Amino acid sequence: MKLYSTNNKDLRVSFQEAVFNSLPADKGLYMPSVIPSLDTAFIRNIQQYSLQEIAFEVAHTLIGDDIPNGDLKSIIADAINFDAPVRFLDAETAVLELFHGPSYAFKDFGARFMSRVMGYFSKQGDQLLDVLVATSGDTGGAVASGFLGVDGTRVTILYPKGKVSKVQEEQLTTNGKNIRALEVDGTFDDCQALVKTAFNDADLNKVLRLTSANSINIARLIPQTFYYFWAYAQLRSQGISEVIFTVPSGNFGNIGAGLLAYKMGLPVKHFVAGTNVNDTVPRFLQSGSYDPKPSVQTLANAMDVGNPSNWVRIQDMFDNKVEELRSMISSYTYDDEQTVNAMKELYDKYQYIACPHTAIAYLASNQYRQDYPGTYASVFLSTAHPCKFPDAISEEIFSKIELPTGAEELAGKQKLVTEMSVDYDAFKSYLLANT
């Protein structure tokens, strides 16, 4: 597998180099030089395969011989050891539940796969691998869980002070061992900017072997394609072949993975991006002008992103042609009041308890169906378990949640965290002082 930078299509690096470097030196993002198509017979008969078998076929098609088949199968079996079921709420509307992994969020797919790929490529005696992660909520917990105890790695997670939920913060700050948490007095965009600046700091990179576990890393994006193919397999087993996916979107890595799956041959009719009031992409799709703004805090905190990193990948997949983007992606934006009402509606109508991100996807799914009625199946993504959002969900509904295994144990653990201002020099000094 060879990859180029979205800022330089003449660049060619190996999959291993892209995994460890995360970002090209020119500040673009890595993309496959060729997006290969899956065998049409495999797609036609996809309902015959398990999630792990589908994941192997997709990963092998993309990665090629960079990881031998036996090793790749072992990585997938270890990383993707939980389900992602499609659950129908009515005859035409279903939810794809992506919170059945150890951190109760869809990012378990990417973080667990990536940690094992990095472990596979790392050689004994290599320099310590420093993994830097900016999180608006769920990424940090998934990365902490995925990398905890992995030899030869050290993870530093930056999260915005007061802008993640209690359970999310506990997942970030109670690990110890090779996981460190920095509570930054700023926004997610500030955290992301600190990480990106570190990657492009030549002096820092002479001392530390830096890499990222954010969705800017191609090893995070690839495994997120797995559940789109798996969802389609589940639909095909019920005789459904036409589907629209609605994705709650913040940094746009999740929907970017769906579009990558589409480019590989997944027969998706359309994608819908649901956002909170951080509406940079919906405004772009309306006007054609990309105008990022500082992020605003909302109940759907994992989507509080003013300048989504992965949007450049999506534009690249469509050759920066706005009309082609519009033909494949629609987007709607919702405020906190609408989000709360949607969570209540889901419970009252279906007895389904959803997190705020899932509620936004539900709203966008309904809106698209109203605007474009048809016979297709509408599947919206549930990206996190509702137990992670006690402050966003009404007390009455929250009391009905069945906590997943391990959630109660987090509350009793000691919080291990370092406070930090939005100051790159201070962040750099912290990294250098703790080598």
pLDDT tens digit sequence for 227-242: 999 999 999 999 999 9
Question: What confidence category does residue 435 fall into, taking pLDDT thresholds of 50, 70 and 90?
Answer: low
Q: What tens digit of pLDDT does each residue of 204-262 get?
A: 999 998 888 877 889 999 999 999 999 999 999 999 999 999 999 999 999 999 999 99
28, 131, 324 from 193: Cα distances, Å: 14, 15, 30
pLDDT at 226: 98
Q: How far is it, in rounded angstroms, from Cα 263 to Cα 319? A: 13
DSSP tag of 330: E
CA distance 228 to 41: 17
Q: Which residue has the higher pLDDT, 372 or 213?
A: 372
User: Given a cut of 80, is residue 406 above it in pLDDT?
Assistant: no
- Top mean pLDDT of 27-31, 134-138, 224-228, 301-305 is at 224-228
* pLDDT > 90 in the chain, percent: 70
Higher pLDDT, 407 or 401: 401
d(CA 82, CA 79): 9
Q: Which amino acid is at 191?
A: C
Average pLDDT over residues 26-38: 94
pTM above 0.75, yes or no: yes
Q: List the beta strands (DSSP E) in 149-304.
A: 153-160, 179-184, 209-212, 243-248, 270-275
Cβ atoms of residues 358 and 248 within 8 Å: yes
Comparing CA positions, the residue from 63, 110, 105 lying closest to residue 220 is 110
Chain centroid offset of residue 243 CA: 21
What is the arithmetic mean of pLDDT over 6-18? 94
In the chain, the largest separation of any two C-alpha atoms, in whole Å, equals 60
pLDDT, residue 169, reads 87
List the single range of 173-177, 292-296, 309-313, 431-435 with lowest mean pLDDT. Answer: 431-435
Contacts of 115 (CB under 8 A, 6+ apart): 79, 143, 146, 147, 150, 153, 213
User: Could you tell me the domains of the chain?
Assistant: 82-106+221-398 (3.40.50.1100)
In this predicted structure, the answer to whether residue 125 has a pLDDT above a threshold of 70 is: no
* Cross-strand pairs, 212: 132
pLDDT for the residue 277: 97
Torsions phi, psi for 104 (to 5 deg): 65, 35
* Burial class of residue 41, CB neighbours in 10 A (0-12, 13-18, 19+): exposed
Q: Which secondary structure element, helix H or strand E, spans residue 234, and what is its range?
A: helix 226-236
Q: Report residue 412's pLDDT band, with 50, 70 and 90 as the boundaries.
A: low
Checking if the pLDDT of 434 tops 80, the result is: no
Phi, psi of 274 (to 5 degrees): -100, 130
Mean per-residue pLDDT of the chain: 92
Average pLDDT over residues 404-432: 85
Sign (positive or negative) of CA dihedral 311, 260, 297, 362:
positive
Q: How does residue 101 score in pLDDT terms, banded at 50, 70 and 90?
A: very high
Please give the Cα distance from 171 to 158 (Å, whole number): 13
Q: Which residue has the higher pLDDT, 339 or 405?
A: 339
Residue pLDDT, tens place only, 42-87: 999 999 999 999 999 999 999 999 999 999 999 999 999 999 999 9
Instruction: Indicate the SS3 state at residue 244.
Output: strand
Here the tokens at position 329 are 């992606």
pLDDT > 70? residue 93: yes
Whose tokens are 């509702």? That residue is 386
Whether pLDDT at 373 is above 70? yes
Q: What is the pLDDT of residue 408?
A: 67
Q: What is the mean pLDDT of residues 159-167?
A: 86
Confidence of residue 194 (pLDDT cuts 50, 70, 90): very high
Give the confidence band of 142 by pLDDT, cuts at 50, 70, 90: confident
> Comparing C-alpha atoms, which of 215, 248, 214, 247 is closest to residue 228?
247
